[in-house]
Amino acid sequence: MILPRRYWGILIIYIAAQLLPGVILGVIYHPKLPPQDVGVLWTIVSLALATVWIFTLLRKDMAELNHRSGLSTGEIVKWSIIGVFLAYGTQIVANLINIYVLGIDQGSQNTQEIIQIIEANMWFILLPIVFAPILEEIIFRKIIFGEIYKRTNFIIAGLLSALIFAALHMDFTFILTYTAMGFAFAYLYVKTKRIIVPIIAHMAMNAFVVIIQLSVDIEDLERQLEDMENALMIFFGG
């Protein structure tokens, strides 16, 4: 598959943002901070920088697509809400198949690992709710799905991009669930021609899952945020 040069740049930035925190954590040691806090800090920083950089590279694409789609703000909101129910519905159907057909009655390992990190450091909540939906929709829907869709049809492009999306979550027990959600997000992108719609739906879906899984009380949340503020002061203040 031949991609425009800027798309290759975006893919490289995305991969680098995933790998950079681990590399930094391996070579930087801060005696006043636990390694997991340093890892979370660098993960958020690298993904934030990657997001800004990628949007800069996509400015021309976004302007052209916004002009062609002609979608109003109200329609974007409407389709984003529809998208949440669509993604949630496909997830329910996939999970029912997992339970009653495939005999899978356990929770997603990927989700549980993310929740455990968030429970240890609340700043990590930015990953599943903000940065992951933005970057994943750009990579898997706009670039991978979009480029395959130009050469095939919706079914092939949707399934291939959704399978890649699912596989890269490294939770193969629930590959059907991730594939179904990826397919739903691809439909939203084709229907609206605006990548912001599946991004918003993806954000809302992840936020709902995280909130349900966490069930953190306000006092605990405030304590963890205060601890993280102190950690930031120690890390950057020396």
Q: Which residues form the catalytic set?
A: 136, 169
Query: In the chain, what is the greatest distance between 2 CA atoms, to the nearest angstrom?
Result: 55
3-state SS, residue 134: helix
Query: Rounded CA gap, 94 and 74, in Å?
Result: 30
Going from the C-alpha of 176 to that of each of 92, 101, 191, the distances in angstroms are 11, 12, 22
The span from the CA of 56 to the CA of 102, in Å, is 44
Write the secondary structure of 64-79 as one string of H (helix), E (strand) and C (coil).
Answer: HHHHHHCCCHHHHHHH
Q: Supply the DSSP symbol for 174.
A: G
**Measuring CA to CA, how many Å separate 145 from each of 34, 139, 164, 182?**
39, 8, 10, 10
Q: What is the dihedral of CA 189, 192, 198, 199, to 10 degrees?
A: 110
3-class SS at 194?
Answer: coil
CB-CB contact of 154 with 202 (8 Å): no
